[in-house]
Amino acid sequence: MPNNLLELFFATSKNHPEILRIAKTINELSQFISENIGNKIGFVPTMGALHQGHLSLIKAAGKSTDFVVVSLFVNPLQFNNPEDLEKYPRDLENDILLLEKSGCDLLFAPSVEEMYPENTPKIELDIKNLDSIMEGKMRKGHFDGVVQVLYRLFSVVKPDEVFFGLKDYQQCMVVKCVLKAYFPEIKLSLEPTVRETSGLAMSSRNQRLSKEGQEKAAEIFKTLSYCKSLYPLYTPQEIISRGKEMFKKSNIETEYLEIADSDNLNFPVSWEKNKNYIILAAVYIESVRLIDNLFIN
Ligand code: PAF
């Protein structure tokens, strides 16, 4: 990550282990990790622009492990849209300030070249229906990019436990596939979505919204909550139609609104006993793509 601030913190942190330690290369990371043999390592992967949602993951990691590693890497492979990559919020100065107070022990902030040196082998993982519905369908190649970066991050950090937010529910399912296939020894912790008082799910992308946009975005949670309140009186399809109608009334563009079995993300035609369901949405507000979800039973 070419950044003077990072250079400065990096230089200082080497001599002052009491302040946030920073590794920019895999070698530096491995050195810090090797000093922690015997300690349980918790890992929170991020793309920066940190908010309370990330901090709650770091807190959870601090509670159940001895040494918390946070990665900050805006992974180009998971952006299907170059404009989205370019506009992805970056605020390293604030991220470092937040991390210093967060309980993070080590920040891993590699460059793209460090993460993906020439001839990095591509991981081929069959993630089944996850690649052809909702996020997988709308953001072609996105989950493939997530698989590549997680494989690489988990291989170098070698965590005992990893922490992800349920806001990215479909991504959590992809993480399960990566762990099952390659890292069955790593424990997965999924943490609840952290929301603003308005109900808006915390997201780095919220920073791109105007004040009015943020107010409008609170309608996402309201709509999902309304849909939840209709369960099980109406069929899944009827609930989805009503939810889309509500988004339309708020002038929110729906990309998808789906109800799925929370175990496998299959779409139900009717309700079945002993199954758990989740409603998931992706919408556009002020050209910013936002996602959210709610368990409905
Ligand atoms: O959820 C994210 O921020 C990213 O998809 C992740 C897991 C850090 C991989 O780049």
Based on the domain organization, do 184 and 98 belong to the same domain?
Answer: yes
Question: Where do runs of H (alpha helix) occur along the chain?
Answer: 4-15, 26-34, 52-64, 82-87, 92-102, 112-115, 134-138, 142-157, 169-182, 211-229, 236-249
Ligand 1: nearest atom to the Cα of 73: 10
pLDDT for the residue numbered 15: 55
Atom of ligand 1 nearest to the CA of 165: 1
Contact 134, 173 (CB under 8 A): no
Identify whether 82 is preceded by a cis peptide bond (ω within 30 of 0).
no
154 and 248 both lie in a single domain:
no
Whether residue 222 sits in one domain with residue 249: yes
197 domain-assigned:
no
74 Cα nearest atom in ligand 1:
10
Domain boundary among 141, 169, 191: 191
Q: Is 142 a catalytic residue?
A: no
CB 174 within 8 A of CB 201: no
Closest CA to 296 of 196, 215, 225, 217: 225
* Residue 1: per-residue pLDDT: 47
Please tell me whether residues 47 and 175 are part of one structural domain.
Answer: yes
Active-site annotation holder among 16, 51, 54, 142: 54
150 and 183 inside one domain: yes
In a domain? residue 113: yes
Q: Cis ω on the peptide bond leading into residue 159 (within 30° of 0)?
A: no
Domain containing 147 — which CATH number?
3.40.50.620
**Which of residues 160, 191, 222 is at a domain's end?**
191
Chunked mean pLDDT (size 10), the chain, 297 residues: 62 62 97 94 98 98 98 97 93 94 97 97 97 97 98 98 98 98 98 98 97 98 98 98 98 98 98 98 98 98
In a domain, 172, yes or no: yes
The answer as to whether 155 is a domain residue is yes
Is 196 inside a domain boundary? Answer: no
The residue type of 16 is H
- The answer to whether residue 198 is domain-embedded is no
Residue nearest to atom 2 of ligand 1 (CA): 46
Of the residues 149, 169, 191, the one at which a domain ends: 191
Looking at the fold, whether 184 and 208 belong to one and the same domain comes out as no
- Among protein residues, the one with the nearest Cα to ligand 1's atom 5 is 146
What is the predicted pLDDT for the residue at 165?
98
Cα(36) to centroid of ligand 1, in Å? Answer: 25
Question: What pTM was computed for the model?
Answer: 0.94
Cα(268)–Cα(149) distance, rounded to whole angstroms?
Answer: 32
Expressed in angstroms and rounded, the spacing between residue 40 Cα and the centre of ligand 1 is 22
Ligand 1 centre to CA of 5 (Å) is 23
Considering the domain architecture, whether residues 185 and 209 belong to the same structural domain is answered as: no
* CB 146 less than 6 A from any atom of ligand 1: yes
How far, rounded to the nearest angstrom, does the alpha carbon of residue 15 sit from its chain's CA centroid? Answer: 32
* Residue 97 sits in the same domain as residue 22: yes
Q: Show the domain range for 284.
A: 204-295
Based on the fold, state whether residues 78 and 131 are members of the same structural domain.
Answer: yes
Residues 175 and 212 in one domain: no
Domain check: are 101 and 162 in the same one? Answer: yes
Q: How many domains does the chain have?
A: 2
What pLDDT was estimated at residue 182?
98
Question: What is the distance between the alpha carbons of residues 206 and 200, in angstroms, rounded to a whole number?
Answer: 9
Q: Identify whether 283 is part of a domain.
A: yes
| Structure-token match 């069929």, residue found | 235
pLDDT (tens digit, 9 = 90+) per residue, 224-244?
999 999 999 999 999 999 999
45 lines ligand 1 (CB under 6 A): yes
Residue type, 24: K
Query: Does 166 share its domain with 48?
Result: yes
CATH classification of the domain holding 223? 3.30.1300.10
Residue whose CA is at the smallest distance from ligand 1 atom 1:
46
Cα of 149 vs centre of ligand 1, distance in Å, is 8
- Examine residue 52 and state whether it is found in any structural domain, yes or no: yes
